[in-house]
Amino acid sequence: MAIEVTVPEMGESILEATVSHWLKKEGEYINVGDVLVELETDKVNVEVGAKGSGVLQQIKVKEGGDVKVGDVLGTIDEKVEQTQPATPEPKPHAAEEAKESVLVEKQEEKTPEPVREQKPELVPRPRQDGRNKKQREAPLVTPVASRLARDKDVDISAIQGTGAEGRVTRSDVEKYLQNQDKLDRTVEQPQALADVQHEVSAAPPMGNRQEERIRMSRRRRTIAERLLEAKNSTAMLTTFNEVDMTNVMTLRKRTNDQFVERHGIKLGIVSFFVKASIGALKEFPYLNAEIQSDEIVLKHYYDIGMAIGAEEGLVVPVIRDADKLSFAEIEKYIKELVSKSQSGKLSIEDLRGGTFTITNGGVFGSLLSTPILNPPQVGILGLHKIEERPVALNGQVVIRPMMYTALSYDHRIVDGREAVQFLVRLKEFIEDPALLLLEG
């Protein structure tokens, strides 16, 4: 009996996926629950397990192929029995049974060794993590890195991983390829190109003009589509302000040791902006809304999205009910989301929804930027690098740690006055953190 391996339901609004990596090969024995294949969606990676035991008979969709929910990925030839009993059970046709018995005895007399060797191979061996011994000994590798290594014919075991738990990432593969290029700069050229170059040999050399083509991952394609959608379907505008971070940094420095001792985590910068954003959103609720047809939906809950630059592309996991969380709870929430994004373990629930987004380009050294909206949200706050700059204070020039903030908003329902006042209120909260306690 053949068991079909199909694309499962992968969550709300996710209808398509790309076959990222087959963990089993055709002809390999499969146990119930073994992970067969990994699918890449525009949000998370999904593992597809076996619903029955048997031999993987056919792989119908190769790696890199696009599939939809319900499509057949492959088939498993189900085996009822893997071992035969020592004494055959009585059969209704004694003559046929005797004939089969004689054939078996003759085979055992001629080739006893292969029969004894083949029998254990049919017995499914228990596995703890759904991978065979060779796969367990292989290094951990992300789907993108694995695909790039296959495209470039690179032995992944020769690469030292720098990701979580020693996982080999795309940057590790690219760095390995760059090192190999340094060892061998010779590029083979077709004879036709060689003839053309001979004709124009008088022209000055152009240097190394090597090119390569890399297939965009499904997640990267989806990000591109949504960024274009945000630009084309919203009246997006950005306003800026600058914030003096002196009091926040002084407060963190003074209380950080006690904070770590009490909560087991450091007090970061972003939790202050989460709290300050919620305080400002309560005063300017149209920034915590969305447009549905000809209606404005005001949301009186605060699910704050945190933009994270993961290896396979930007993801925006959500801090649920952030207004009800303490500073320590927000810090732990952010740390967990970052860890899950780095290890590729974000779930659909982690990414669903969100009423307002914060993106921190400052961790990469960005001094100023214009963040793009995350539809259907109508507001996104951009944080940037903290840099000491001379500023005028009480008639004197002093050096202060300053940060530029940027608010992109949908001008269809948010006026410029509200956007500017939102940033001014945010600035007040950050420059006087005691206000955050008073506002709750």
Give the residue numbers annotated as catalytic, written as ranges.
411, 415
Q: How far apart are CA 392 and CA 403, in angstroms?
A: 15
How many residues in total does the chain contain? 440
376 prior amide bond cis, ω within 30: yes
One DSSP character per residue, 97-125 reads: HHHHHHHHHHHHHH-HHHHHHHHHHHSPP
Torsion of CA 208, 215, 155, 30, to 10 degrees: -170
- What number of other Cβ atoms are within 10 A of residue 347's Cβ? 13
Residue 56 pairs with which residues in a beta bridge?
Answer: 76
Closest CA to 74 of 41, 28, 40, 129: 28
Dump strand ranges (E) for 164-247.
236-244
Side-chain-side CA neighbours of 236 within 13 Å: the count stands at 23
25 burial class (0-12, 13-18, 19+ CB within 10 angstroms)?
exposed
Gap between the terminal Cα atoms of the chain: 63
193 burial class (0-12, 13-18, 19+ CB within 10 angstroms)?
exposed
**71 DSSP assignment:** -
Alpha helices per DSSP H over 131-190: 133-137, 143-151, 170-183
- What number of other Cβ atoms are within 10 A of residue 366's Cβ? 16
139 burial class (0-12, 13-18, 19+ CB within 10 angstroms)?
middle
Contacts of 328-332 with CB under 8 Å at 24 or more apart are: 328/259, 328/262, 328/263, 328/265, 328/267, 330/270, 330/271, 330/274, 330/275, 331/263, 331/265, 331/266, 331/267, 331/268, 331/271, 332/263, 332/265
